[in-house]
């Protein structure tokens, strides 16, 4: 159970202190719906030749208003005819006219940013972090750090990307001070609204972090190239020998045509990390890496292209390209 400020997932008004609980099936539905929207957004942007270099709402609005679209802005700002738009979304691949494509994109933006799509997605994810649903993923990180001899003396700085709560173990364990928490959409005080890809670069080694946590964020990033850009960017925020904690849904690693555990590890080694810990749970995999700065060499196109490792029915297309 968690506290939430504005409304329940069904739209009912609640006071700040009323805890909200969402049944697992409903959480899954919200999360699936959100991934459906960002997937369609990606297809539409490609068809419209709009480059959404990030997930930022304002950047999206700018990209959109520069390119098309009274039609699109109209949909974005007021949103209309839900049933029609939903049926359009199911056939975006076959839509041809820019006007139709722009209407769909505007509708998606409206759903994500104005109709609470991202907010409800975060809420569903936060409910998934409660103890009776497995707890937040930084529990594993803290357990590992304690095994490695780190004490609760607040000597290390941490950046938590995609932060949904100030109460996660990373914030309460006492090992880290400060913990800077950022998210595309701040869901509570203490979490800055910021896109990591737009975060100003540190000016000196001292401004860098000892730890970066990136739990269930890479899979949220819409394209393989943008995921690669995020992986490459961590380095600029990490002190030498600093640690990076990555959590991914297990199917990204064990059920993708274009990714597996070895390939992910080699990609991170190529970027100058060594692997410290790896753990697979039922649904997630947890990886702790240390930034050594020593890059492992590989064939030129090993990470700059997709390589098909498996071609089995039901596999997904998760990949990372540098
Ligand atoms: C599934 S939630 C995961 C949250 C939490 N870290 C966890 O482990 O459950 C993904 C979050 O990552 C955030 N996110 C995605 N891309 C981001 C970026 N470029 N910068 C900051 N936050 C980002 C999203 O807004 C979303 O709240």
Q: Is the pLDDT of residue 302 over 60?
A: yes
The reply to whether ligand 1 has any atom less than 6 angstroms from the CB of 184 is yes
Q: Are 8 and 27 in contact (CB under 8 A)?
A: no
pLDDT in tens, 163-172: 989 999 999 9
Q: What mean pLDDT value characterizes the chain?
A: 82
Task: Work out the average pLDDT over 201-226.
Answer: 93
Q: How far is the CA of 163 from the centre of ligand 1 (A)?
A: 6
Question: pLDDT grade, residue 207 (50/70/90)?
Answer: very high
| Every domain of the chain and the residues it spans | 1-135, 136-291
Instruction: State ipTM.
Output: 0.99
Higher pLDDT among residues 187 and 258, named by residue: 258
User: From start to end of the chain, where are the E strands?
Assistant: 2-3, 19-20, 156-161, 176-183, 192-193, 209-215, 238-249, 273-280, 284-291
Task: Work out the average pLDDT over 291-298.
Answer: 84
Least confident of 8-12, 72-76, 163-167: 8-12
Report the atom number in ligand 1 closest to the C-alpha of 196.
20
Higher pLDDT among residues 60 and 245, named by residue: 245
**What's residue 131's pLDDT?**
56
Report the atom number in ligand 1 closest to the C-alpha of 138.
8
| Residue 311 marked ligand-binding | no
The rounded distance, in Å, linking the Cα atoms of 301 and 299 is 6
Q: How far is the CA of 222 from the centre of ligand 1 (A)?
A: 12
- Best of 217, 218, 226, 247 for a ligand 1 pocket test (most atoms within 8 Å of beta carbon): 217
Least confident of 47-61, 174-188, 204-218: 47-61
Instruction: Please tell me the pTM assigned to this model.
Output: 0.77
Q: Are 51 and 45 in contact (CB under 8 A)?
A: yes
Q: How far is the CA of 84 from the centre of ligand 1 (A)?
A: 30
**What's residue 269's pLDDT?**
94
Q: Is the pLDDT of residue 72 over 60?
A: no
| Residue 162 marked ligand-binding | yes
**What's residue 239's pLDDT?**
96
The reply to whether ligand 1 has any atom less than 6 angstroms from the CB of 215 is yes
**What's residue 129's pLDDT?**
66
**What's residue 88's pLDDT?**
84
| CATH T-level topology, domain 136-291 | Rossmann fold (3.40.50)
The reply to whether ligand 1 has any atom less than 6 angstroms from the CB of 125 is yes
Q: Are 248 and 284 in contact (CB under 8 A)?
A: yes
Q: Is the pLDDT of residue 82 over 70?
A: yes
């Amino acid at each position: 159970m968690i506290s939430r400020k504005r409304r329940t997932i069904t739209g009912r008004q609640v006071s700040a202190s009323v805890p909200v609980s969402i049944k697992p099936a409903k959480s899954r539905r919200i999360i699936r719906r959100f991934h459906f929207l960002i997937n369609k957004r990606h297809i539409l942007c490609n068809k419209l030749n709009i480059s959404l270099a990030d997930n930022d709402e304002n950047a999206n609005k700018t990209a959109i208003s520069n390119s098309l679209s009274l039609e699109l802005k109209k949909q974005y700002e007021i949103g209309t005819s839900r049933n029609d738009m939903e049926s359009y979304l199911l056939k975006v691949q076959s839509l041809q006219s820019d006007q139709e494509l722009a209407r769909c994109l505007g509708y998606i933006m409206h759903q994500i940013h104005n109709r609470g799509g991202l907010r409800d997605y975060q809420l569903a994810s936060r409910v998934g972090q409660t103890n009776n649903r497995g707890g937040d993923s930084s529990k594993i990180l803290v357990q590992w750090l304690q095994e490695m001899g780190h004490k609760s003396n607040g000597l290390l700085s941490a950046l938590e990307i995609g932060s949904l709560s100030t109460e996660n173990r990373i914030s309460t364990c006492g090992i880290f001070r400060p913990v800077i928490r950022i998210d595309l959409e701040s869901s509570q005080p203490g979490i800055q609204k910021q896109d990591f890809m737009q975060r100003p670069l540190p000016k000196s080694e001292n401004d860098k972090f000892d730890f970066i946590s990136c739990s269930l964020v890479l899979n949220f990033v819409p394209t393989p190239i943008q995921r690669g850009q995020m992986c490459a960017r961590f380095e600029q925020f990490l002190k030498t020998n600093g640690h990076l904690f990555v959590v991914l849904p297990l199917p990204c690693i064990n059920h993708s045509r274009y990714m597996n555990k070895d390939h992910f590890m080699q990609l991170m080694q190529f970027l100058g990390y060594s692997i410290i810990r790896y753990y697979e749970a039922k649904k997630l995999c947890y990886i702790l890496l240390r930034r050594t700065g020593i890059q492992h060499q590989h064939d030129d196109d090993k990470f700059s292209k997709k390589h098909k490792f498996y071609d089995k029915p039901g596999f997904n297309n998760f990949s990372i390209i540098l």
